[in-house]
């Protein structure tokens, strides 16, 4: 049996702000239980719903030093077995007692997750679980490999434990001044050199995790290549090129039990690739619910997204008048930067029969939009993996994407000549190119309906379940664990 420990700041269904939680929640369940004992450790946030917290069992507690801080920190250990996976929760109300997993104070978050990264190791001898490999996720868990290689290196319990770092989004790195990190960690001086943790005269948690880990993964093959280039590398492209022999991309999956148009209880009408004609009933239902004209012949484009620059919404802003023509219904679901929230609200006011601005997030409304829309727009500036396009494909909603990161890896551009492909795409980060892709999609939709249906059906028959990704992770785990 090979022991694997996931260390992460969030995990579905306990706490979720983004795709990280979906990965940490879904991947352990998909790994072969006969070969891998996979356990997960996350903070015990007070904002975890009571329906889960009421089942947590207290294991024990102790006090742990943290850097050069004068007082030792309380470390409580709670555990819970949920859907066959063993979870540990690090309890410290001073650090994790708020009503959100993250705060607006980066320095405070850095202290909280420095504590978490060390506590995730400190609990292991106590609970009697010795991993063969520790799989760390994003900057919040990035100091765990550094602690293993430095302050824990003389403890025989930790000898030979391998570490793997997964980058879900390189943009977020956990950067603060070196003096603060010296105080919080008590790492030896060599950790704060330019080869290790130093970054532009500050210290960088994610950089340190990448340097000190045995292996690094990202959440798509294309993103693994992109981050080795200055445009996408967020200042770490040189390090990623150096790490190239021990770097790969594995695209995320989605839970095919949660996202299944044949059985989804949240949509108006069930359908499959073979009964694709029933999908239009979902469009009618959502049109009525949103107060849009109920018309099968409207081309419904959906956006389900954080409303930020990263998601390419500045491109949408440039050409929204041309997108929202009289033949189109444009439905937006999400929250984010006020300028984009207000943009969509304004166009709903201006064209109430064409635009529906849902400036909030609702899982129920998201499922209905996946089932109702004809196309899903994702013009991202960068997209490490992206889950929206995978869900859209599953529901026969044709993605229109920019060719970056996981979008490029998972959406095959439509080819008119051989009638192949599962979506529409454009390469340059340019509003005109995006509009051309949208108009190309509209042309096929309105003039070649049979071809449109075939594009959607091909997408529905693709397999982006977690099973494929889990197979690649299993192979990687076996290989890394076998290293001396």
The answer regarding whether domain 276-463 maps to CATH 3.40.50.2000 reads: yes
pLDDT value for 174 = 97
Tokens 């049996």 belong to residue: 1
Q: Please report the pLDDT score of residue 72 as a whole number.
A: 97
Give pLDDT, residue 19.
82
What are the residues facing 375 on neighbouring strands? Answer: 301, 398
Q: What is the pLDDT at residue 470?
A: 95
Q: Write the CB contacts of 98 (distance below 8 Å, at least 6 apart in sequence).
A: 45, 46, 47
> Residue 188 has which token pair?
């030896």
- Per residue of the chain (484 residues), what is the pLDDT tens digit? 999 999 999 999 999 988 899 899 999 999 999 999 999 999 999 999 999 999 999 999 999 999 999 999 999 999 999 999 999 999 999 999 988 999 999 999 999 999 999 999 999 999 999 999 999 999 999 999 999 999 999 999 999 999 999 999 999 999 999 999 999 999 999 999 999 999 999 999 999 999 999 999 999 999 999 999 999 999 999 999 999 999 999 999 998 888 999 999 999 999 999 999 999 999 999 999 999 999 999 999 999 999 999 999 999 999 999 999 999 999 999 999 999 999 999 999 999 999 999 999 898 999 999 999 999 999 999 999 999 999 999 999 999 999 999 999 999 999 999 999 999 999 999 999 999 999 999 999 999 999 999 999 999 999 999 998 999 999 999 999 998 7
pLDDT of amino acid 178: 97
- The CB density around residue 359, as the number of other CB atoms within 10 Å, is 17
- CATH 3.40.50.2000, the chain: domain bounds: 2-253+467-481, 276-463
Q: What is the pLDDT of residue 204?
A: 98
| pLDDT tens for each residue of 378-404 | 999 999 999 999 999 999 999 999 999
Instruction: Give the pLDDT confidence score for residue 17 in this predicted structure.
Output: 85
CA angle (383 as vertex; 382, 385 as ends), nearest 5 = 155
Q: C-alpha distances in angstroms, 274 versus 157, 249, 456?
A: 55, 33, 11
User: So what's the pLDDT on residue 413?
Assistant: 98
**Of 59, 46, 213, 57, which is closest to residue 136 (Cα–Cα)?**
213
pLDDT, residue 257, reads: 86
Distance CA 402, CA 406 (A): 10
Overall fold of domain 2-253+467-481:
Rossmann fold (3.40.50)
Structure tokens, 186: 């008590």
pLDDT score at 77: 98
Q: What are phi and psi of 243, to 5 degrees?
A: -85, -5
Residue-level pLDDT at 1 = 94
**Residue 13: is the preceding peptide bond cis (ω within 30°)?**
yes
């Amino acid at each position: 049996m090979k022991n694997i420990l996931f260390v992460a700041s969030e995990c579905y269904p306990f706490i979720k702000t983004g795709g990280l939680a979906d990965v940490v929640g879904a991947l352990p369940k998909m790994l072969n239980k006969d070969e891998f004992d996979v356990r997960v450790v996350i903070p015990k946030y007070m904002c975890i719903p009571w329906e889960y917290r009421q089942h947590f069992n207290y294991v024990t507690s102790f006090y742990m030093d943290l850097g050069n801080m004068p007082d030792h920190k309380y470390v409580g250990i709670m555990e819970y077995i949920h859907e066959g996976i063993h979870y540990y929760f690090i309890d410290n109300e001073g650090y994790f007692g708020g009503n959100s997993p993250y705060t607006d104070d980066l320095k405070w978050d850095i202290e909280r997750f420095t504590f978490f990264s060390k506590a995730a190791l400190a609990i292991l001898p106590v609970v009697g679980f010795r991993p063969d490999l520790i799989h760390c996720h994003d900057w919040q868990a990035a100091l765990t490999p550094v602690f293993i290689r430095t302050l824990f290196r003389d403890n025989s319990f930790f000898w030979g434990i391998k570490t793997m770092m997964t980058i879900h989004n390189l943009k977020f790195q956990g950067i603060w001044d070196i003096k603060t990190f010296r105080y919080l960690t008590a790492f030896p001086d060599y950790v704060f050199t330019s080869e290790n943790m130093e970054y532009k005269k500050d210290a960088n948690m994610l950089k340190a995790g990448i340097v000190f880990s045995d292996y690094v993964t990202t959440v798509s093959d294309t993103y693994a290549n992109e981050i080795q280039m200055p445009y996408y590398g967020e200042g770490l492209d040189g390090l990623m090129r150096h790490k190239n022999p021990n770097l790969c991309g594995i695209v995320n999956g989605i839970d095919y039990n949660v996202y299944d148009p044949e059985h989804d209880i949240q949509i108006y009408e069930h359908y499959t690739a073979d009964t694709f004609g029933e999908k239009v009933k979902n469009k009618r239902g959502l049109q009525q619910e949103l107060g849009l004209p109920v018309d099968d012949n409207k081309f419904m484009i959906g956006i389900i997204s954080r409303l930020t620059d990263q998601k390419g919404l500045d491109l949408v802003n440039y050409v929204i008048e041309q997108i929202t023509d009289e033949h189109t219904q444009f439905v937006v679901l999400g929250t984010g930067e006020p300028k984009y929230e207000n943009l969509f609200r304004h166009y709903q006011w201006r064209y109430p029969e064409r635009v529906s601005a849902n400036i909030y997030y609702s899982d129920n409304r998201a499922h209905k939009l996946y089932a109702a829309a004809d196309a899903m727009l994702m013009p991202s500036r960068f997209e490490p993996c992206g889950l929206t396009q995978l869900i859209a494909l599953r529901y026969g909603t044709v993605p229109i994407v920019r060719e970056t990161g996981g979008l490029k890896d998972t959406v095959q551009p439509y080819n008119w000549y051989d009638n192949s492909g599962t979506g529409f795409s454009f390469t340059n980060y340019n509003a005109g190119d995006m509009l051309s892709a949208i108009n190309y999609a509209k042309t096929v939709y309105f003039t070649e309906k049979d071809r449109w249906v075939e594009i959607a059906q091909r997408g529905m028959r693709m397999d982006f379940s977690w099973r494929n990704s889990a197979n690649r992770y299993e192979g990687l785990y076996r290989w890394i664990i076998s290293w001396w």
